[in-house]
Amino acid sequence: MAINFARSTLFTLASSLLFGLMLTTPASAQVELVFGTYATDKPSTVVRKFKPFLDHVASQMSETLGQDVSIKMKISKEYEESIDDLATGAVDFARFGPASYIAAKDKNPDIQIVAMELSNGNKRFNGVIAVRENSQIESLSDLEGQTFAFGDELSTIGRYLAQSQLISAGIKSEQLQGYAFLGRHDLVGTAVGNGKFAAGALKESTFNQLVSKGEPIRALLYFENVTKPWLASSNLSGDLLDVLRKTIIETTDSEILKSIAKDGFSTGVDEDYDFVRRAMRQSLEF
């Protein structure tokens, strides 16, 4: 009888402790999120670019949830690695270019758009095909027999949209003397500036930065691109996704936004990226 009483007492005590843990753990537990992207510029530049905004997101989410939220960064050297990280849930949310989003969505249809960046209040911005400042090239058709520098093989501007522009101008790979994929946008601009390639494709913001630093390049052609989506892994819970989306879209502080999306964010849908899908299909003819 004493043994049964002791067992009952121990069971009641253990149950009380467990119930206490169930009540207290959620309030004190830390939410740890991993943010993923790839190095379109130097990794150190990418970290400096994202850290203030991600710190703000973590702080606001902590306040909303009543729990400490921390966000770690995972910066991949290659687009493909970053795409796989999001598709498999190795990162919780990410910021990609449109083509990388499409590739990730093909791998995992349950990836969701959290928000879209705005550029001057719009969901569109420019890419650039640049040539050396003193180049005699005046149109895309003049690139026949010349060399061309692309960015990453999965880059929206650096490959797919640029190749679509070339194809529309009657320039395919066989019309070029040669071409190469250099990875980062800044490497493309520098390679054109130092004469290693006759022309190259890069995003307008990087083009402007290089020109301001004295890189001897000029724009041959501007072409339209759609702004970058922020994306959620299929593993991110609905509650966290809702808080993350609300936090990002409602951020209006220009100082916090300036290195990410100076004009803020909007909601987005998959159809916003259909014209990039068409360019990706067209680039197969290159």
Per residue in 79-134, pLDDT (tens digit) is 899 999 999 999 999 999 899 999 999 999 999 999 999 988 899 989 999 999 99
Per residue in 233-262, pLDDT (tens digit) is 999 999 999 999 999 999 999 889 988 877
> What is the amino acid identity at position 83?
I
Flag whether pLDDT at 8 surpasses 90.
no
> What is the amino acid identity at position 230?
W
Q: Which residues of 158-184 are buried (b: 16+ CB within 10 A; e: fewer)?
A: bbbbbbbbbbebebeeeebeebeebbb
The pLDDT value given to residue 198: 98
pTM value is 0.75
State the DSSP string of 203-249.
EHHHHHHHHHTT--EEEEEEEEEEPPEEEE-TTS-HHHHHHHHHHHH
The pLDDT value given to residue 27: 44
DSSP 161: I
Flag whether pLDDT at 284 surpasses 70.
yes
CA dihedral sign, ordered 50, 56, 59, 60: negative
Residues of the chain with CATH 3.40.190.10: 27-122+228-271, 124-226
Specify whether the CB–CB gap between 175 and 181 falls below 8 A: no
Specify whether the CB–CB gap between 112 and 106 falls below 8 A: no
State the DSSP string of 75-132.
EESSHHHHHHHHHHTSSSEEE--HHHHHHHHHH-TT-EEEEEE-BTTBSEEEEEEEEE
Which of the pair, 67 or 11, is modelled with greater confidence?
A: 67
> 128 - beta bridge partners?
202, 222
The CA distances from residue 285 to 18, 170, 171, in Å, are 63, 11, 10
Our measurement of the distance from residue 47's CA atom to the centroid of its chain's CA atoms, rounded to an integer in Å, reads 13
Flag whether pLDDT at 149 surpasses 90.
yes
DSSP 158: I
The pLDDT value given to residue 233: 97
Flag whether pLDDT at 21 surpasses 90.
no
The pLDDT value given to residue 64: 96
The pLDDT value given to residue 168: 95
Integer Cα distance of 207 and 268 in angstroms: 27
pLDDT average, residue stretch 172-200? 97
Which of the pair, 166 or 13, is modelled with greater confidence?
A: 166
Range with lowest mean pLDDT among 9-13, 49-53, 76-80, 275-279: 9-13
Flag whether pLDDT at 29 surpasses 90.
no
Domain formed by 124-226, architecture: 3-Layer(aba) Sandwich (3.40)
The pLDDT value given to residue 77: 84
The pLDDT value given to residue 48: 86
Flag whether pLDDT at 2 surpasses 90.
no
Integer Cα distance of 141 and 45 in angstroms: 35
The CA distances from residue 252 to 96, 208, 242, 271, 276, in Å, are 21, 25, 18, 25, 28
The pLDDT value given to residue 6: 41
Yes or no: domain 27-122+228-271 corresponds to CATH 3.40.190.10: yes
Per residue in 213-240, pLDDT (tens digit) is 999 999 999 999 999 999 999 999 999 9
Per residue in 39-76, pLDDT (tens digit) is 766 778 888 889 999 999 999 999 999 999 999 999 98
